[in-house]
Structure 1
Amino acid sequence: MAFLQLKSIGQTYFSKRTATTALENVTLSVHEGEFVSFLGPSGCGKSTLLSIIAGLLAPTEGDIFLEEQPINGPHPKIGYMLQQDYLFPWKTIKENVLLGLKLRGQLNEEQVSNALSLLDEIGLSHVLDQYPMQLSGGMRQRVALVRTLATNPKILLLDEPFSALDYQTKLKLEDLVSFLLSEYDKTAILVTHDIGEAIAMSDRVILFSKNPGYIYQTFNMPETLKKLTPFETRQHPDYSVMFQQIWKELKNIEENNSD
């Protein structure tokens, strides 16, 4: 059985007069250690599906299993990183990093040492006693990443975590996240609007259509790209080939939805 399994997931929002279906019949398996990206037009339900996987939103249809166990609410093995860093401005960087461990009652000497070692690994051990307002956007996102990884999740959910950053910082963080997830053997799902980012970071790209959201097509990245860093991937000839393929299908989705 797959590490993460989604079976016929559907999500409908009800109001007094209408029912809007955001997702329909989403069935997907993700293997341990795999990096998967969700790509598609705005409103196709990518972030909604991520919230369902995280256990923050109950689907109106279907079931989700992590290591063969159903997900019925927030799960200790699932880490969630958002577009905003959501660091507490009145807490130091060290306090922010250790917050997840504290909330889970895991704040022991070993866990603290591991978290601070991770902060040192990404080059931020010198900001332990500083506050979020003293850091750049890229540095704050690195802190948010360490805070998420500190609780040792088995799967990391990334909801457009680089979209608010400048391009150079974004490329650096892509490489950093890719390296850390590989080093610690983590499974990851990324929601993005950026075709290039999806190709550069993923083993597999899932393209969604909308009205309602469903899996339109799956693209498996060639082995020539998988073994490269995200930055190196963007320089490889196969990157352009994949980009054109996905761009064509995304354009078809947008044209069909505009009819």
Structure 2
Amino acid sequence: MELLEIEQIHHTYFTPNSATTALENISLTVQEGEFVSFLGPSGCGKTTLLSIIAGLFKPSAGTVKIEGNTLEKSRHKIGYMLQQDYLFPWKTIEENILLGLKTMDLLTSEKKNWALNLLDEIGLEGVSKQFPNQLSGGMRQRAALVRTLAVEPKLLLLDEPFSALDYQTKLKLEDLVFETLKTFNKTALLVTHDIGEAIAMSDRIVLLSAKPGRIHQIFDVPEELRKSKPFQSRNHEAYSDCFQLIWKELETLESTK
């Protein structure tokens, strides 16, 4: 089923002395349960596009719909996970992960128990009463994932959520997020600069050209990689071929900037 529909998105940033077009003619549909990554040169508008989909600001032109409804009616269906965990340092992990539910007036004992159980399931058993500064970066990002999933969003937006972590932690979290989203059949969009990460986690990869950002090419990740956990897919023979193909296209875009 089609979950997300992006139609003819165009966005221009205006200053008193200039106008810069960040995105032009972006149209894309995403199916329920699909994982799509956005790649491209610096300045291609990846984060701008994600912010528009999140409803943080309106595009200059075009529409975004979730399950056929406008963003005004669908913002509660979106979860956003950023590079920084943005946990409130003066609140416990339990208070942090329940914050979205409380803010949206959705907090019930059933939803609280579900969120705390998920915290245990992703390897954070026994930390609910601790504070963020007592946890490692990887543990805080896990808590941020639980906070995002607690409100049961239809669509998850992931803006380089692993880039601030060390490489080993990053690989472990890729597997964790991948498995968690598959378990709950969540739809996700990932912005990343990491070709390998995009291949390992995605069903499709959208390569954007820069200035202005346009869809240059869409790659379907081979089925044998889509079925594997990210760490396993990085060791599959099809991974290297896919990496080289996308790398060459990205190099072409970089050379024509």
TM-score by length of 2: 0.98
The equivalences for 1:149-228 within 5 A come to 149-228=149-228
Structure 1 residues 8 and 151: alpha-carbon distance in aligned structure 2, compared to 1, 3 A threshold = same
| Distance in 1 (alpha carbons) for counterparts of 2:64 and 2:128 | 38
Kindly state the Cα deviation for residue 73 of structure 1 after the two structures are TM-superposed.
Answer: 7.6
Which sits farther off after the overlay, 121-130 or 20-29?
A: 121-130
| Paired amino acid for 1:22 | A
Aligned to 1:14: 14
| Paired amino acid for 1:233 | S
Kindly state the Cα deviation for residue 42 of structure 1 after the two structures are TM-superposed.
Answer: 1.1
Secondary structure, aligned partner of 2:126: helix
**Contact map agreement 1:55 1:73 (CA 8 A) in 2:** no
Kindly state the Cα deviation for residue 125 of structure 1 after the two structures are TM-superposed.
Answer: 2.2
The answer to whether the aligner puts 1:45 opposite 2:45 as a matched pair is yes
Aligned to 1:238: 238
| Paired amino acid for 1:42 | S
| Distance in 2 (alpha carbons) for counterparts of 1:223 and 1:124 | 32
**Contact map agreement 1:24 1:212 (CA 8 A) in 2:** yes
Cα deviation, 1:223-249, whole Å, max 9, x if unaligned, reads 111110000000000000000000000
TM-score by length of 1: 0.98
Give 4+ residue runs of structure 1 displaced > 2 Å after superposition.
none
**Contact map agreement 1:55 1:74 (CA 8 A) in 2:** no
| Distance in 2 (alpha carbons) for counterparts of 1:73 and 1:20 | 29
| Paired amino acid for 1:58 | K
| Distance in 1 (alpha carbons) for counterparts of 2:54 and 2:48 | 10
Kindly state the Cα deviation for residue 2 of structure 1 after the two structures are TM-superposed.
Answer: 2.5
Aligned to 2:251: 251
**Unaligned segments of structure 1, at least 5 residues:** none
Aligned to 1:146: 146
Cα deviation, 1:130-168, whole Å, max 9, x if unaligned, reads 100010000000000000000000010000000000000
Kindly state the Cα deviation for residue 196 of structure 1 after the two structures are TM-superposed.
Answer: 0.1
The answer to whether the aligner puts 1:56 opposite 2:56 as a matched pair is yes
Cα deviation, 1:169-225, whole Å, max 9, x if unaligned, reads 000000000000000000000000000000000000000011100111100011111
Aligned to 2:118: 118
Seq. identity, %: 64
Kindly state the Cα deviation for residue 97 of structure 1 after the two structures are TM-superposed.
Answer: 0.7
| Distance in 2 (alpha carbons) for counterparts of 1:249 and 1:72 | 36
| Distance in 2 (alpha carbons) for counterparts of 1:17 and 1:96 | 42
**Contact map agreement 1:56 1:73 (CA 8 A) in 2:** no
Secondary structure, aligned partner of 1:22: strand
Aligned to 1:33: 33
| Distance in 1 (alpha carbons) for counterparts of 2:25 and 2:238 | 32
| Distance in 2 (alpha carbons) for counterparts of 1:97 and 1:109 | 14
Aligned to 1:82: 82
**Unaligned segments of structure 2, at least 5 residues:** none
| Distance in 1 (alpha carbons) for counterparts of 2:130 and 2:3 | 38
| Distance in 1 (alpha carbons) for counterparts of 2:235 and 2:65 | 37
State the Cα RMSD in Å: 1.0
